[in-house]
């Protein structure tokens, strides 16, 4: 980072199937898309991760201290997701998520949960989510302040609502807004 200049921030809408790193460190000969397929600005690193099968907001920065403040769980930065789940949530399942659930790696912190109508302006996923006429699905907005591996998916599965689609829409004060899959934009360090 150049002296006299604040941290630079990129907001990226990671498509389904893209690795949240710049190089594929997987099996030799694999051809999986990475961040470098979309972002060609040197010196930036992701502040946190999204699983390959998750979509949505990733924050990248050229400042290591800011990267740590965004990604490290001790800073308890909220992360908000749109989550399509299989099944019809009842009050008991939603209350359990709000209070925290017991996973193999310990009890989760309480989450903010809101059940939503299907988002009208959401892009189609490629490949599409499987559709079964006999099984209902629902949309939840979930905000957590932790960052365990596949945490939201494990939480919803724990209450009998397997995740079909997971889209991160906000990290702290940064939000996806109208950013389309595969696109990125510059943002302020504060997230405002």
* DSSP per position, 90-150: -HHHHHHHHH--EETTEEPPP-EEEEEPPPTTPPPPSSPPP--TTS-EEEEEEEES---TT
Catalytic hit among 24, 51, 53, 102: 51
How many angstroms from the chain centroid is the CA of residue 149?
Answer: 11
Please identify every stretch of the chain with a pLDDT value under 70, giving residue numbers as ranges. Answer: 1-5, 27-30, 191-192
CA distances from 35 to 50, 65, 105, 146 (A): 11, 21, 29, 23
- Does 173 qualify as catalytic in the annotation? no
- For the domain bounded by 78-171, which CATH number is listed? 3.30.70.1560
Fold: same for 9-73+175-187 and 78-171: yes
| Distance between CA atoms of residues 72 and 86, nearest Å | 30
Reported as a single tens digit per residue, the pLDDT across 163-188 is 999 999 999 999 999 999 999 999 99
Indicate the fold that domain 9-73+175-187 takes in CATH. Alpha-Beta Plaits (3.30.70)
The pTM of this model reads: 0.92
Q: What angle do CA 16, 21, 23 make, to 5 degrees?
A: 110
Residue 2: what pLDDT? 45
Phi, psi (deg, nearest 5) at residue 191: 85, 0
Residue 1: what pLDDT? 44
What residue segments make up the domains of the chain, in order of their start? Answer: 9-73+175-187, 78-171
């Amino acid at each position: 980072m150049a002296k006299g200049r604040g941290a630079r921030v990129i907001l990226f809408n990671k498509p389904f199937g893209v690795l949240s790193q710049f190089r594929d460190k997987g099996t030799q000969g694999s051809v999986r898309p990475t961040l470098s397929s979309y972002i060609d600005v040197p010196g930036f690193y992701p502040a946190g991760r999204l699983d390959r099968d998750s979509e949505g907001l990733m924050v990248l920065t050229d400042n290591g201290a800011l990267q740590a403040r965004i990604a490290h769980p001790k800073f308890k930065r909220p992360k908000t997701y749109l989550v399509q789940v299989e099944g019809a949530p009842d009050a008991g399942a939603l209350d359990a998520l709000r209070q925290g659930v017991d996973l193999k790696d310990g009890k989760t912190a309480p989450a903010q949960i809101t059940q939503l109508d299907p988002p009208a302006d959401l892009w189609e996923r490629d490949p599409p989510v499987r559709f079964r006429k006999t099984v209902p699905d629902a949309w939840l907005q979930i905000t957590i302040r932790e960052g365990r591996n596949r945490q939201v998916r494990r939480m919803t599965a724990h209450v009998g609502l397997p995740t079909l689609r997971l889209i991160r829409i906000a990290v702290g004060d940064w939000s996806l807004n109208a950013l389309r899959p595969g696109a990125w934009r510059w943002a302020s360090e504060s997230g405002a």
